Amino acid sequence: MSFGPNPWQQAHWDWRAAGNFMAGGAGGGLIVATALSGAQGSARALLLLAGVALVGLGLACVWLEIGRPWRALNVFRQPQRSWMAREAIVATLLFPVTAAAALAWPALAGIAAALALAFVYCQSRMLSAARGIPAWRAPLLAPLILATGLTEGAGLWVAAAPWHGGGAAIALALAVLVLVRFVVWRVYWRGVAPGLAARARVALDAAGKRLVIIGTALPLLGLAGVAAFGNAAPSLAAAAAIVAGVSAAVAGAGFKFALITRAAYNQGFALTRLPVRGVRRA
């Protein structure tokens, strides 16, 4: 059923819209992690460029979704009311600033991180603006999406640590972020589960379990392995870092994909008072 009193799954946003949240959130988080890590030289440049490339990939997915893609400039209209317009405006600043920070002026890395954080924040507010979808309109979804994007970015940074030789600060930040994401998810789930359609509840519950096991327990075990092996077994420490980072990022991306494409059921509608011929309105 596509329309009626019973909940139905929205069909306007598909895997392409999910791709924007998946790639864009991870890219924005990677830019933030790279700027805060203090990485230098070619490692900083490549990580910043990788982050902005992911953001571009996500926006390209949205561009593919538009029925008339050459009208994409209309997205910039009414930024005072549209978080999608604000996301697009921030992105137009994020691309040149991040590229400049990577290739010419490292001092701009802090500004790039602030823009990336604003980009992920705009994404987090876009879903909560859909008031007719119970899984999206929950107040805690915005902080959950924001925490997920930052966790994915930190995870990608940690996964690349064996190559760039980064320090322990972002690894510690990843441990904190996966725990924060877990707590926000649990509170969000308890509040939203009773109001979900049956299929939406099943899809979101499965995604949440993967988020807990793959996205929380596995990264924490991997980070514990990094701390345990350290310099004594560099190859094992590198493998543990890759497992921790990749699992944190993949679980977050999978959660957002399920949230947008499988758990996005409208609430349906109900007529609590029906008109009856010959009966006066009270």
Element spanning 159, H or E: helix 141-159
pLDDT score at 256 = 95
Neighbours of 256 (CB within 10 A): 28
Tokens of 265: 């059921």
Neighbours of 43 (CB within 10 A): 17
- One-letter amino acid identity for 256? K
How far are the Cα atoms of 37, 133, 141, 161, 204 from residue 40, in angstroms, in the given order? 9, 44, 35, 13, 40
Please, what is the average pLDDT of the chain?
86
Which pairs count as long-range contacts for 79-85, CB under 8 Å and 24+ apart, including other chains? 83/122, 83/123, 83/125, 83/126, 83/129, 84/122, 84/126
Residue carrying the six token digits 């099943």: 202
Looking at residue 265, the DSSP 8-state letter turns out to be B
**Lowest mean pLDDT, pick from 97-101, 164-168, 200-204, 247-251:** 164-168
Q: Which residues pair with 9 in a beta bridge?
A: 265
The CATH architecture one would assign to domain 15-261 is Up-down Bundle (1.20)
pTM exceeds cut of 0.85: yes
Among 183-192, 233-242, 272-281, name the most confident range.
Answer: 183-192
CA count, 13 A, side-chain hemisphere, 208? 21
pLDDT band, residue 1 (cuts 50/70/90): very low
Residues 82-134: tens digit of each pLDDT? 778 888 889 999 999 999 999 989 889 999 999 999 999 999 998 887 777 88
Please list, in sequence order, all residues whose beta carbon lies within 8 angstroms of the beta carbon of residue 144, skipping any fewer than 6 positions away: 124, 181, 184, 185, 188
Domain boundaries, the chain: 15-261
Residues 16-70: tens digit of each pLDDT? 889 999 999 999 999 999 998 877 888 889 999 999 999 999 988 887 766 565 6
Determine what percent of the chain is predicted with pLDDT higher than 90: 51
